[in-house]
Amino acid sequence: MIKFDGVTKRYPGGFEALKNVSFEIAQGELAFITGHSGAGKSTLLKLAAAIERPTTGSVIIKGQNVGKIRQSGLPYVRRNFGLIFQDHKLLYDRNVYDNVALPLSIVGVTGREAGKRIRAALDKVGLLPREKAAPITLSGGEQQRLAIARAIVSRPSILLADEPTGNLDENYARDIIELFKSFHQVGVTVIIATHDARGIARQGEQILSLQHGVLA
Amino acid sequence: MIYHWLRSHWHAFILVLKKLRHAPVANLLMAAVIGATLSLPAGLYLLADNIRQAAGDITIEPQISLFLSLNATDGAVKALDQRLKENHGIKDFNFVSKETAWQEMQRNSTVADTGLEKNPLPDAFVIHPKDTEPQAVDKLQKELSELPNVEHTLLDAEWVKRLYVLLQMSTKAVVILTSLLGFALVAIVGNTIRLQILTQREEIEVSRLIGATDRYIRRPFLHAGLLHGFAGGLMAWLFVYIALYIFNASVQDLALLYSADFLLHMLGGQASLILLGGAAGLGWLGALLAVNRSLAELKAVAKR
Ligand SMILES: Nc1ncnc2c1ncn2[C@@H]1O[C@H](COP(=O)(O)OP(=O)(O)OP(=O)(O)O)[C@@H](O)[C@H]1O
Ligand SMILES: [Mg+2]
């Protein structure tokens, strides 16, 4: 499903955030990416989601080499993913419902069908009663869950989450990890980046451990 | 496929309308600014068009009228007729007898009640010169005025010529004004759209990260540009209409006095369509330029 082969990512300015990274994540797998702050976890996820391109090496998503796809083709590759950003990237000029509507609008799903899916996604993360609320009025954990709802609403086959348990207390963090496990159980490929390995119950999931851009 | 395309455009359109409704005053002002801008060339065009129509009946061919003295005899008229036939500078001519002229005048409603009971008009020849060059015509006129029994000659092409030159100039002025102010419209709409893009930067960035195509991002702004332009065109039409209405109301009394039709007519269907369509098109163009520039900037920032 996702294959990195000798991937190096050098940012403009010369800093190498990833060095010769190779791994493969199969369809339906649950994988964790761990490592210290600055280890390159977010960079790895951005490469996996076709947001950044590798400097050298190849990133293959569903058989497509991201480095070889034309600019105009990238949006269609990105639609395979549900993305939960480290900084959430919620839109504060619209309510909860409209935030979740964005990915659907991008793929042209609107109207009643969209409404059904948006409410289902909000229900899944327990935010249905808050659909009219402004994101700014939500608690940190609720904003996190809103970001998750937006990521799952278009029913992506791959879910990428960057520090989804970031600033949450232990109970909340466990809830969220359980939520991802439930997606994994219905066949979604789930990749979670986290600096904190507490929530990870080892049940055979793949764990990629990064240190200064190198896979340990 | 086409259904999908139409539907996505329709939804973007509705969304834009909803957004525009959030700032009714600003958008109305915007339309008024564009409208005022466009009403200048539209108004000038209207004026020129009215004059052109009024002048439509007049031929540009110069025409010399020879008025004979009132006591010219039939023999004298015949002799003159012969001399005109022999003159090589004349293309054609016709004779208007004093009786014909009188009847013509009586039929004309504007002078029906002049109170005249006796025919005061002289016999006349109406002449079209072969050579329509102003100098040649002047020469011919001088020549003809020296013929016996010719009391008075009248060259009635000068003012027509001037009118046509004026009309040509006004057509050019309309073209120049339209280009200049069309450019202004593109700039005004482009600038507004740029500001809109800036306020929606976050949305655009997030949308691109989760799979939005450039076309998707452009769409609402292009619709907005189109709408701004169209609303401006509508305003311009309205401004011209109001100006016309005021003008017509004030000349009504004058027109009654002369029982003539001095009323200006409004822009025709075709001209109105061109105004609205052109304004919408220019608005769209302004939006396209703005959104392409902003997208390029956003991409450059994302690369950094
Ligand atoms: N756009 C960029 N330009 C230049 N350097 C960058 C850029 N993004 C990240 N880096 C650098 O690359 C390194 C890895 O960053 P990355 O965000 O992948 O780390 P991370 O493992 O996600 O850290 P954290 O746990 O703090 O989120 C960091 O040293 C960072 O400064
Ligand atoms: Mg990170």
Pick from B4, B8, B211: CB nearest A78: B211
If one compares B284 and B8, the residue with the highest pLDDT of the two is B284
Cβ-defined contact of B202 to A78 (cutoff 8 Å): no
Cα dihedral: A51, A52, A57, A59 (round 10): -10
Cβ-defined contact of A93 to B206 (cutoff 8 Å): no
Q: CA B272 to CA B39: how far, in whole Å?
A: 12
With beta carbons under 8 A apart, name residues in chain B contacting A50: none
CA B275 to chain centre: 11
Query: Ligand 1: which residue has its CA nearest to atom 26?
Result: A37
**Mean pLDDT throughout B46-63?**
72
Kindly give the distance from the C-alpha atom of residue B274 to the centroid of ligand 1, in angstroms, as a whole number: 55
Contact A199, A173 (CB under 8 A): yes
With beta carbons under 8 A apart, name residues in chain B contacting A77: 211
Kindly give the distance from the C-alpha atom of residue A63 to the centroid of ligand 2, in angstroms, as a whole number: 26
Q: What is the pairing mode between strands A206-211 and A30-35?
A: parallel
Taking each continuous run of H as one helix and of E as one strand, the counts in chain B are 9, 4
Which residues lie with the beta carbon below 6 Å from any ligand 1 atom? A 11, 13, 15, 17, 35, 37-43, 86, 195
Instruction: Give residue B164's pLDDT band: very low, low, confident or very high (50, 70, 90).
Output: confident
Q: State the best of A105, A154, A157 to mutate against chain B, taking most chain B CBs within 10 Å.
A: A105
In this predicted structure, what is the pLDDT of residue A200?
A: 64
* B295 at interface of A, judged by CB pairs closer than 8 A: no
In this predicted structure, what is the pLDDT of residue B266?
A: 81
Pick from A12, A91, A108: CB nearest B206: A91
Neighbours of B54 (CB within 10 A): 13
pTM of the model: 0.74
Cβ-defined contact of B210 to A106 (cutoff 8 Å): yes
- Report pLDDT digits (tens) over B16-43: 777 777 777 888 888 898 899 889 888 8
- Which residue from B minimizes the CA distance to A150? B210
Q: CA A88 to CA B204: how far, in whole Å?
A: 15
Query: Ligand 1: which residue has its CA nearest to atom 12?
Result: A17
With beta carbons under 8 A apart, name residues in chain B contacting A91: 202-203, 206
Contact A128, A119 (CB under 8 A): yes
In this predicted structure, what is the pLDDT of residue A67?
A: 86
Q: What is the DSSP secondary structure assignment for residue B259, as one 8-state letter?
A: T
Cβ-defined contact of A83 to B8 (cutoff 8 Å): no
Per-residue pLDDT 10s for chain A (216 aa) are: 899 999 999 998 889 999 999 999 999 999 999 999 999 999 999 999 999 999 999 999 999 998 889 988 999 999 999 999 999 999 999 999 999 999 999 998 888 999 999 999 999 999 999 999 999 999 888 999 999 999 999 999 999 999 988 767 778 788 888 889 899 999 999 999 988 765 566 666 788 999 999 988
Instruction: Give residue B260's pLDDT band: very low, low, confident or very high (50, 70, 90).
Output: low
**Residues facing residue A121 across a β-bridge:** none
> Rounded to 5 degrees, what are φ and ψ at B151?
-85, -40
How far off is chain A from B293, nearest CA to CA, in Å? 17
Q: CA B179 to CA B130: how far, in whole Å?
A: 41
Q: CA B73 to CA B70: how far, in whole Å?
A: 9
Residues of chain B above pLDDT 70, percent: 86
Q: CA B228 to CA B209: how far, in whole Å?
A: 29
Instruction: Give residue B109's pLDDT band: very low, low, confident or very high (50, 70, 90).
Output: low
Contact B67, B152 (CB under 8 A): yes
* B8 at interface of A, judged by CB pairs closer than 8 A: yes
Instruction: Give residue B283's pLDDT band: very low, low, confident or very high (50, 70, 90).
Output: very high
With beta carbons under 8 A apart, name residues in chain B contacting A105: 11
Cβ-defined contact of B203 to A93 (cutoff 8 Å): yes
- Report pLDDT digits (tens) over A42-98: 999 999 999 999 999 999 999 999 888 998 899 999 999 999 999 999 999 999 999
Query: Ligand 1: which residue has its CA nearest to atom 31?
Result: A38
What the block records as the tokens of A28 is: 């339906």
CB contact set of B49 (below 8 Å; sequence gap of 6+)? B267, B268, B271
Pick from A51, A72, A93: CB nearest B209: A51
* Sign of CA pseudo-dihedral A45, A46, A50, A52: negative
Kindly give the distance from the C-alpha atom of residue A41 to the centroid of ligand 2, in angstroms, as a whole number: 5
**Mean pLDDT throughout B54-59?**
60
HSE at residue A41, side-chain half, CA atoms within 13 A, is 25
What is the strand order of the sheet B90-96 is part of? B90-96, B124-129, B64-68, B150-155
Kindly give the distance from the C-alpha atom of residue A193 to the centroid of ligand 2, in angstroms, as a whole number: 8
What is the number of the ligand 1 atom nearest to the C-alpha of A193?
Answer: 22
Domains of chain B, first to last = 2-57+161-303 (no CATH), 64-156 (3.30.70.3040)
- Report pLDDT digits (tens) over B208-244: 999 999 999 999 999 999 999 999 999 999 999 998 8
| Mean pLDDT computed over every residue of chain B | 82
Cβ-defined contact of A78 to B303 (cutoff 8 Å): no
Angle subtended at Cα A163 by Cα A157 and Cα A165, rounded to the nearest 5 degrees? 100
* B14 at interface of A, judged by CB pairs closer than 8 A: no
In this predicted structure, what is the pLDDT of residue B277?
A: 94
HSE at residue B158, side-chain half, CA atoms within 13 A, is 6
